[in-house]
Structure 1
Amino acid sequence: MRSLPYACVSPSGIRAYAQTMDVVTGLLDGPRARGAFLLRSHLRAPWGMRIEDEAPLTVVPVLRGRAWVGPATNDGDPGEFLETGDVVLLRGPEHYVVADRPQTAPTVVVGPTDQCRAIDGGPSPMQVFGVRSWGNDLEGETVIITGTYPLDGAVGRRILRALPHRLVLRRGDVDATLVELLAREVVHDLPGQEAVLDRLLDLLLITCLRAWLDRADAPGWYRADADPAVGAALRLIHHDPARGWTVEMLAREAGLSRAAFARRFTALVGDAPMAYLTGWRLDLAADMLLADDATIASVARAVGYSSPFALSAAFKRVRGVSPAEHRRRVA
């Protein structure tokens, strides 16, 4: 069984986990790369790669030169150019193309298991240059790093769902020191190197997420955290999901009438208070269920359901699968 990406995994720790995990901490603590795929590419134009790995999330910093990233299908999306120092986050499972320019047809395809093949079935124009390093020319004018990994944990997937399919952070938005350190370490093969690279990739991703969350297009639940009334209600929900919250109780804590609170919460967060509470409880439950020693009953109590049956019914209604099926799928 896959381990939780958070510290509290024992039955005695489940409630502590639920009571201390707010949404911002949850999304920033979510990334936990384990053996992430990392590759440094050295490229000379013309070059183009069609990526079909269907990874939930990919991080691509541009170390040198220029690259274009866009959809694999002609859907009217013009794509975007990336310059030196830019970083792009790509949310899967959609396929995409990275090339020197939009007009360059891809010559290689990267598949779901990091398999690379020529797009026409012939010899691949790419060659291996060393540890985690490949391309069509070691002295090419463009150098990029590709880092891909899944995000474990439903609280972490909350941010994954909110991210656009393609998010570009420009030079200056991201700490260049992290990118430079990752660029140096990715071609080394020292003891513990995989763990070092995993943590560096996590730090780079978290830096990108924080930069994005400071933008105007951040999710409503993040912006609402700064609102005196709605932010207070969100923190109550996050810190004590097991409590039998009602709209009236939350409104009273926020210092508003029931109607005014419901309108304000829905406008800022994008969900009605009880719908948000249900989603938060089930996200927490989805994470907790992955602990080897967790039971449906203990998880139900920790997130505010009166019985295992009540949790199972809500889980199946919202997520389309039972808690047991969720466990099997993730395992």
Structure 2
Amino acid sequence: MDVVSDAIAAVRVGRPSTSRLRVAGSWCARLDPYEGAGFHVVLAGGCWLLPDGGGDPVTLGAGDVVLLPHGAGHVLAEGPADATRVRRAPVLAELRRTGAAAARADAAGREVELLCGKYRLDRSRVHPLMAELPEVVHLPNRVGRHPELRSAVDLLAREVDERRPGSCLALPSLLDLLLVYMVRAWMTQAATGAWPAVLDDPVTTAALRALHSDPAAPWTNDRLAAEAGVSRATLARRFTELVGRPPMSYLTWWRLTLAAARLRDTEDSLATIARHAGYGTPYALSHAFSREFGTTPGRYRAAVRTGSPS
């Protein structure tokens, strides 16, 4: 596994969902904050996105993609809505019920077509790469930019429209692919943020790739430096400077994050989870886990199953 794949896989839970929306005339819809990530693709027309909390409005045109990686509440509107209208905006579900009728009633108006979706995410152990994504990631439609993202959008739009045989498998897979491509696209155009720089550094990238490929291996600073092709001192300096923690500290954090994900998503025994996370015994894992999370693995598993992780 690579870092981007692991960062997404560690927080993703359940199945993503999507729907297509057509509206026309004067319209406005509110989307409440969500424990996950949301996205919108403008298939035709254009609209405005107004983030909660007074963020700058975002003008969206045909072909634009916008990701809200932290589930921020926001309003979608036909134009730059005034404050009164924003407060009275219906929820998106209500707009979906009335949208088709509005489009038929106002055929002369500008019709807007959107592909809207969301991903369920577990925010209790977010990888720093995902944590540093901004509240709104706007990916404008520009010729020659992010061709794989454009292809995924086209495939997804067709699949949502036609619901052909196999759609139950194709749709979630395409949605997972879309999330990867949106994160990739942000990384290529990000003006700020540590992780685009981290993954642009060959030494740090080589070390991270090694750790993520086999986190249970008996890594040491010397062995990891040899894997990256540099001295131990050089690796420690560059890794710590870019990632924000030393290599072995990052490895411990990542191993415990993987253990937490297995406790959440599987029925594996503590011994099995310890082996996959690189701990020799269940006791060793339990001790490290309790120090990091402030609770035992068993209590953590019970808590996340009831929706209230410690």
TM-score (norm 2): 0.78
Match of 2:238 in 1: 264
Quick check: 2:8–2:130 contact (8 Å CA) kept in 1? no
Query: Cα distance 1:93–1:153, how it changes in 2: closer, same or farther (>3 A)?
Result: closer
C-alpha distance in 2 between matches for 1:181 and 1:253: 39
Query: Cα distance 1:200–1:135, how it changes in 2: closer, same or farther (>3 A)?
Result: farther
Match of 1:56 in 2: 36
Q: Deviations over 1:139-185 (max 9, x none)?
A: 44221111112147999866532422211111143443432333333
C-alpha distance in 2 between matches for 1:181 and 1:80: 25
Structure 1 position 81 matched with structure 2 position 55: no
Q: Which one has a larger percent helix, Structure 1 or Structure 2?
A: 2
C-alpha distance in 1 between matches for 2:233 and 2:101: 60
1:86 CA displacement: 0.5
Quick check: 1:30–1:153 contact (8 Å CA) kept in 2? no
Match of 1:137 in 2: 103
How many pairs were matched up?
Answer: 294
Query: Cα distance 1:320–1:41, how it changes in 2: closer, same or farther (>3 A)?
Result: farther
Quick check: 2:28–2:90 contact (8 Å CA) kept in 1? no
Q: Give the secondary structure class of the aligned counterpart of 1:184.
A: helix
Q: What is the letter of the counterpart of residue 305 of structure 1?
A: Y
C-alpha distance in 1 between matches for 2:27 and 2:5: 40
C-alpha distance in 2 between matches for 1:253 and 1:26: 20
Match of 1:210 in 2: 184
Quick check: 1:50–1:72 contact (8 Å CA) kept in 2? no
Quick check: 1:33–1:199 contact (8 Å CA) kept in 2? no
Match of 1:14 in 2: none
Q: Which sections of structure 1, spanning at least 5 residues, go unmatched?
A: 1-20, 117-123
Quick check: 1:29–1:156 contact (8 Å CA) kept in 2? no
C-alpha distance in 2 between matches for 1:156 and 1:34: 16
Quick check: 1:32–1:151 contact (8 Å CA) kept in 2? yes
Query: Cα distance 1:47–1:321, how it changes in 2: closer, same or farther (>3 A)?
Result: farther
TM-score (norm 1): 0.74
Match of 2:4 in 1: 24
Among candidates 136, 141, 149, match of residue 166 of structure 1? 136
C-alpha distance in 2 between matches for 1:189 and 1:240: 39
Q: Give the secondary structure class of the aligned counterpart of 1:62.
A: strand
C-alpha distance in 1 between matches for 2:136 and 2:2: 26
Q: Deviations over 1:95-145 (max 9, x none)?
A: 1222123334234443xxx8x4xxxxxxx5x3637xxx7574244422111
Match of 1:66 in 2: 46
Q: Give the secondary structure class of the aligned counterpart of 2:43.
A: strand
1:248 CA displacement: 4.2
Quote the RMSD (CA, aligned, Å).
Answer: 3.3
Quick check: 1:153–1:287 contact (8 Å CA) kept in 2? no
Higher RCO (Cα < 8 Å, 6 or more apart): 1
TM alignment of 1:196-207, pairs within 5 A: 196-207=170-181
C-alpha distance in 1 between matches for 2:209 and 2:282: 25
Q: Give the secondary structure class of the aligned counterpart of 1:73.
A: coil
C-alpha distance in 1 between matches for 2:233 and 2:59: 47
Query: Cα distance 1:167–1:329, how it changes in 2: closer, same or farther (>3 A)?
Result: farther
Q: Which sections of structure 2, spanning at least 5 residues, go unmatched?
A: 306-310
Q: Give the secondary structure class of the aligned counterpart of 2:103.
A: coil
C-alpha distance in 1 between matches for 2:72 and 2:293: 21
Query: Cα distance 1:314–1:176, how it changes in 2: closer, same or farther (>3 A)?
Result: same
Among candidates 80, 99, 113, match of residue 102 of structure 1? 80
Q: Give the secondary structure class of the aligned counterpart of 2:63.
A: coil
Query: Cα distance 1:228–1:209, how it changes in 2: closer, same or farther (>3 A)?
Result: closer
